[in-house]
Structure 1
Amino acid sequence: MFALFVFFCGIMMPISTYADTIITPDQALVDGETVVSPAGVFELGFFSPGSTPENRYLGIWYKKISHGTVVWVANRDSPVKGNSGRLILNPNGTLILIDGNNRTVWSANSSRALKNAATRLSDRGNLVVFDVAGTGDDRSFGWQSFDYPSDTLLQGMKLGKNLVTGKEWFISSWKSAEDPSTGEYVNRLNSDGYTQAFVMKGSEIEFSTGPWNGRSFTSSVASRPNTYYTYKLVSTSDEIYFSYDLIKNMSVLTRLVIMPNGQVQHLTWIERTQNWIVYLNVQVDNCDRYGLCGPYATCNIDNSPPCGCLEGFRPKFTKQWNEADWSGGCVRNNPVGCGKEDGFRTLSGIKMPDSRKTWYSTTVNLKECEKMCLQNCSCTAYTVLDVRDGSGCLMYIDELIDMRELSQNDQPLYVRMAASDIAADKRQKKQRVMAISIALSAVIGFLLLCFLVWCGLHRRRSKRDLYDDEEMECPMFDLATVSAATHNFSNNNMVGEGGFGAVYKGKLAEGKEIAVKRLSRQSLQGKQELQNEMALISKLQHRNLVKLLGCCLEGEEKMLIYEFMPNNSLDHFIFDPERRGVLTWQRRFDIAMGISRGLLYLHQDSRLRIVHRDLKASNILLDNNFRPKISDFGLAKIMDLNQTEGKTRLVIGTYGYMSPEYAVDGKFSVKSDVFSLGVLILELVSGKKNQTFRHSDHLHNLLGHAWILWNKGRAVELIDEYLEKSSYVEFEVVRCIQVGLLCVQKAPDDRPTVASVVSMMGNKDVRLPQPKQPGFFVERSSNSTGSTLVSENELSLTIMEAR
């Protein structure tokens, strides 16, 4: 994850240290000297970012972090040329930065007259001008850097506005990774209507957090409960601001940063790995683009298309909507009136709409809020103001825009609907009540038959051996249906065969094509793996995971029924000289991104944290549009959200894709899957299989060959010769090779997370670290034998015995 912020590594820092933590009028801070906070947490001095050593900036950075992470820049738009800069403090409390020609480059005027001015850098990273003769903790400070943030929000800093002076606190991006001047993006608090925060590019809103709900903002990540940080919104007659602090360990280094591309990330320093990790990305995916779906519509990134109208609404411009232009949003099917005949439909699990045109009250309860909304003809919806106790009233008086589906948000939104819509809801509710009544009557009769059917159920369960129905949650197919669909498992219908058994193509009576995975009696993967796959895949839903349609467990037959993938598996194309020409560079890149997103869902976004343990080319299926779908969860393991790694005595996987720590010691983690992902990325680039790769100059596998080329500056030679040079961008290819090598580094802690991989591959502005030596960088003996070009679904099996 540190790769996202490694550009700070190039910052040139001074080598000497100023003796005291205080600057007084009779002292000057010159270039080459620094001021250090009392506990040595932060350092103030001059630095040069990246490749522009002639430009010098006055800044604050972390003293204890060797990477020199800058958190504040004074003269970000006015660099000092050369090493002639000096910071001086006037007796009246004005900080002045001058260059070698005694020209003022930057200054900071004190807000009050100070008798005995001095400057101190605090351990929170705040540069303060104060009166030595003053009293109290602030010693009558006249100026502080916390009031003038750069791109970073530290603990205790404010994002908001002083309502008395008009002073606004906001963070703005650097122009680039090596240029700290003011960039295009700004993160600021907006108090029009009810408070929310925006990321803006110029005057355009790029992202909205949604309104404050008493606990957090309602955007996709901020709404998740956490035990690390406390967020607060302070609103008084003098000021309104947002800030955050650590709940427990105040010594943890953490920061909120707006990147040059507008992405806002909350980062935490991990001392053990000496890396910054991303605690959360504020903008998660395309659904976080402000107003993507227009008014009265919600966005769901797992849907295609992602935008959908609210119930009772339809697209405003049907033609544009069908052409993927959703900005016009939706309109009502039935117009609302203005009175008691209207009603409300409850929406839950969504991000609250843009709240700039709202009315709110902390004293009005929810019942009164509903009544007031009905009486106001402009009111379109209402909700509670504070989700902690369900108090207050937030009333929308305009179109509802910028909503997305969020499973974590339990704040309801009550949307105004026409009387006819409410009447239809009541009819449906009445029908449901009748259906439930009939069902209950049937249940009573069914209970009388329970004893008679128990024996039959018991016999059926004995045939299923130890399979747990409750864990499987798998729709059942009968054997006759599956047999008919596959023409009695005809060889002509067989589309593949692996360690599990044969896979057949079938067509159900209604015309739906299916893939049937049939466990063979000789299979190395037995009942436990079958049950594992059914239990896991039935609970997972993602566009880059294969969809399980059902199971068949009759007699000795044990089968899984999946959606059919017309383009077979990835190894069917990438390792075949005649077929891999179909995989253009863009398709290969999209496949790599799709696999990464599917893996990110397994590791981070699903309700279970899952380590796949057998990620390889033959387990990546391709639909008719060559969209990748991860399959075969027979070896997958569920891990606790707080668990970092697991260990097994039985190592099962595929050589060439297994990470060193798993193959040798039986240790597996999300970083084991990252290693396999790196192998897949390098195979996609090269069109060569890692395990069977051979080269005339050495006996290394594909990883070793890629490492050798990288160190020689010839990484582009790795690309598949079947690709025309005009069909790919060399920079993009080399970047993918670098990401692949980062993933296959020997030490798990050196490898990035999948979230970092997605960010690094999808964002060309992110600078990447240099990879270290890959795992298994050992030459094979000259008589080593390889398998065929087509990736077999073979399993390697190792029993780990105690020493």
Structure 2
Amino acid sequence: MMAINKRNLLLLCLSCCYFFISPSYSDSNTLEQSQQLEDGQHLVSADKTFKLGFFSPGTSKYRYLGIWFNTPYDENYPELFDSRKVVWVANRNIPIFEKSGVLLTIDELGKLKISYNGGSSIALSFVQSKNINASATLLDSGNFVFKEVDSDGSTERILWQSFDYPTDTLLPGMKLGMNLKTGHFWSLTSWISESLPAEGSFSLTTGVGINGSSLIIIRWKRSVYWTSGVWQNGHFELLPTLSNEGYGYKNFSYISNEYEKYFTYSIIGNHTLARYMLDSKGAIAESTGLAPFGACSYKFDLGCVEQILPDCRSRNDRFELRKGFMSVQGVTFDGSYNLSLFDCEAMCLNNCSCRAYDFFINGSQTGCEIWSEETGFTEYNNGREIYVLNHSNKAKWWIWLVIAVSGSVAVLVFCFLFYFIRRRRLEEQG
């Protein structure tokens, strides 16, 4: 009995020692060399604005290393809750399939890497040096900086930083452009969906106008989807609110020298949640959830490039989300296609025989299923969600056309009768 008590006392002492000696990341913003950040632990920026750790977006069970706004739920900003708080993802195209053994570390060779059970490590940065002294810090800007440090703790050189590898979000101080010396591009790429941060089909990049001036472009795959117009006189031609005059609380600027060309923006005042996010439908959303530009799938606005549709389609054609089932199985596109909901709709819209489509996620893969016009659809409340083509807008257009033509004919007939009757009376009086 005494031996058991001594053993329990020893275990208790060891547990207490581990609790006090082991590194705590609840208030730390830095990962030192040979330390490990495990799943469930976090780095927090010094001003408490950003948090870094492992997460699972939306309904996904896969684990990703990311940075997100360190804010509790706010009813004024509901869109910042859950996955929409995430501003950067390290392994967006390499999901981790299990939670056990997942950790971020800096090994003795100076490699910043993600390790996990059952797979090869994911290297974020690697420096060929055995004597390197390195650490990684989450800054107040949201930038995760991996650096070599001197013996006194001062920064000797930056080895890698997350701001050089943005995902779908542009934070203040980030760059959008090109490093002319290394050929490295700074651009945004949308998530496929809120549960899948892998690279989607929309990208936000810089381009060159006819007169050589720079501009911002949203591309859908390889096609230009939206453009800001050229940067001139301190603002964009088609988007004057993005300027160097500090419209609202954002101040945009364009930097061009022999080393790099890029757009960036800074914040005026205290707006810690400022950002621009490229969503899976190609719109740029602000922190408030509003889409000030690029929302071409919702409305045709300045900068939107009209997409060419086949003759069988109209700009008024819309797909309605309905619950039910189709009479037969459709044609499936999945696997290597890496399709988003927007891609599925475009695929169906550009196929004259397509009547309906469905978007699905199978693990880390996505796909579409489309059905032809001959396929029947049955409404059922407990059925699957299917997007069905609605011709009602087109029908309403024809109804209004018929009404307009009928009205015009009626007016002409009335005028003719009025003229005929008046002429008849004049003849009788004469």
Give the TM-score band, short-chain normalised. 0.5 to 0.7
Change (3 A) 1:126 1:325: same
- Structure 1 residues 111 and 279, CA gap change in structure 2 (3 angstroms): farther
User: Structure 1 pair 112/255, CA: closer, same or farther in 2 (3 Å)?
Assistant: farther
Offset, 1:22: 1.5
Output one character per residue of 1:390-438: Cα deviation in whole Å (capped at 9) or x when no partner: xxxxxxxxxxxxxxxxxxxxxxxxxxxxxxxxxxxxxxxxxxxxxxxxx
CA contact (8 A) 2:104 2:115 kept: yes
* Cα pair 1:221 1:280 within 8 Å, conserved: no
Distance 2:153 2:228 in 1: 37
Q: How far apart, CA to CA, are the structure 1 residues paired with 2:154 and 2:208? A: 30
In the TM superposition, residue 25 of structure 1 has moved relative to its aligned partner by 1.9
Trace 1:291-690 onto structure 2 (pairs within 5 A).
Answer: 291-292=305-306
Match of 1:227 in 2: 248
Q: What's the counterpart of residue 30 of structure 1?
A: 38
- Give the C-alpha shift of residue 19 in structure 1: 5.0
Match of residue 248 from structure 1: 269
After superposition, give the CA deviation of every residue in 1:707-729 in whole Å (9 maximum; x if it has no partner). xxxxxxxxxxxxxxxxxx97989
TM-score, reference length from structure 1: 0.33
Closer, same or farther: CA 293–726 of 1 in aligned 2, 3 Å:
closer
Distance 1:184 1:293 in 2: 15
* 21 and 727 in structure 1: CA distance in 2 versus 1, 3 angstrom threshold: same
Is the CA contact (8 Å cut-off) linking 1:114 and 1:130 kept in structure 2? no
Distance 1:147 1:325 in 2: 41
Measured in 2, the distance between the counterparts of 1:196 and 1:184 equals: 20
Q: Which amino acid aligns with 1:41?
A: T
Distance (whole Å) between structure 1 residues aligned to residue 50 and residue 129 of structure 2:
26
Of 254, 258, 264 in structure 1, the residue corresponding to residue 284 of structure 2 is: 264
Give the aligned partner of residue 193 of structure 2. 176
Considering only aligned residues, what root-mean-square deviation do their CA atoms show, in Å? Answer: 3.9
> Does residue 280 of structure 1 match 2:292?
yes
Match of 1:550 in 2: none
Alpha-carbon separation, structure 1, partners of 2:141 and 2:87: 11
Aligned match of 1:59: 66
Shift of 1:24: 1.7
Residues 282 and 294 in structure 2, CA contact (< 8 A), matched pair in contact too = no
Mapped to 2, the partners of 1:88 and 1:155 lie a distance apart of 27
Aligned partner of 2:52 among 32, 44, 55: 44
Counterpart-to-counterpart distance in 2, 1:171 and 1:158:
10
1:145 aligns with: 162
Distance verdict in 2 for CA 1:189–1:210, change over 3 Å = same
Distance 1:38 1:95 in 2: 21
Distance 1:22 1:39, change over 3 A: same
Match of 2:355 in 1: none
Output the CA distance in 1 between the equivalents of 2:264 and 2:59.
Answer: 34
The 5-angstrom pairing of residues 63-102 of structure 1 reads 63-66=70-73, 67-68=81-82, 69-83=85-99, 84-101=101-118
Structure having the larger proportion of residues in helix? 1
Conservation of the 8 A alpha-carbon contact between 2:191 and 2:200: yes
Q: Structure 1 114/214 Cα, relative in aligned 2: closer, same or farther at 3 Å? A: farther
Question: Shift in Å at residue 253 of structure 1?
Answer: 1.3
Residues 182/293 of structure 1: CA separation in 2 closer, same or farther (3 Å cut): closer
User: Unpaired runs of 5+ in structure 1?
Assistant: 1-15, 268-275, 295-319, 327-584, 588-724, 736-803
What TM-score, normalized to structure 2? 0.59
C-alpha displacement of 1:196 = 0.8
In the alignment, the residues of structure 2 paired with residue 134 and residue 264 of structure 1 have an alpha-carbon distance, to the nearest angstrom, of 44
Local SS of the residue matching 1:81: coil
Change (3 A) 1:323 1:118: closer
Distance 1:262 1:122 in 2: 29
Match of 1:202 among 221, 227, 247: 221
Provide the C-alpha distance between the structure 1 equivalents of 2:319 and 2:69, rounded to a whole number of angstroms.
41
Task: Say if 1:228 and 1:111 are closer, same or farther in 2 by CA, change over 3 A.
Answer: farther
Q: Which residues of structure 2 form unaligned runs of 5+? A: 1-23, 74-80, 321-375, 387-430
Q: 1:168-211 CA distances to partner (integer Å, 9 max, x unpaired)?
A: 00010001111111111110112463211111122111111111
Map residues 688-707 of structure 1 onto 2, 5 A cutoff.
none
Render the CA deviation track for 1:45-104: whole Å, top value 9, x for unaligned. Answer: 100112222x10000111124424111000001111111211111345321112113611
Cα 1:282–1:289 change in 2 (3 A) is closer
Letter in 1 for 2:230: P
> Is the partner of 1:146 in helix, strand or coil?
helix
Q: In 2, Cα distance between the equivalents of 1:158 and 1:206?
A: 21
Letter of the 1:245 partner, please give it: S
Give per-residue Cα distances to partners, 1:351-389, cap 9 Å, x unaligned: xxxxxxxxxxxxxxxxxxxxxxxxxxxxxxxxxxxxxxx
Distance 1:28 1:104 in 2: 14
* Aligned length, in residue pairs: 290
Which has the higher relative contact order, 1 or 2, with Cα contacts under 8 A spaced 6 or more apart?
Answer: 2
In the alignment, which residue of structure 2 is the partner of 1:211? Answer: 230
Report SS of the residue matched to 2:157.
coil
Change (3 A) 1:231 1:36: same
**Percent identity among equivalent residues?**
29
Q: 1:595-652 deviations in whole A, cap 9, x for unaligned?
A: xxxxxxxxxxxxxxxxxxxxxxxxxxxxxxxxxxxxxxxxxxxxxxxxxxxxxxxxxx
Query: Comparing 153-162 with 187-196, which one deviates more in the overlay?
Result: 187-196
State the alpha-carbon separation in 2 of the partners of residues 729 and 286 from structure 1: 34
Q: Distance in 2 between matches of 1:223 and 1:18?
A: 37
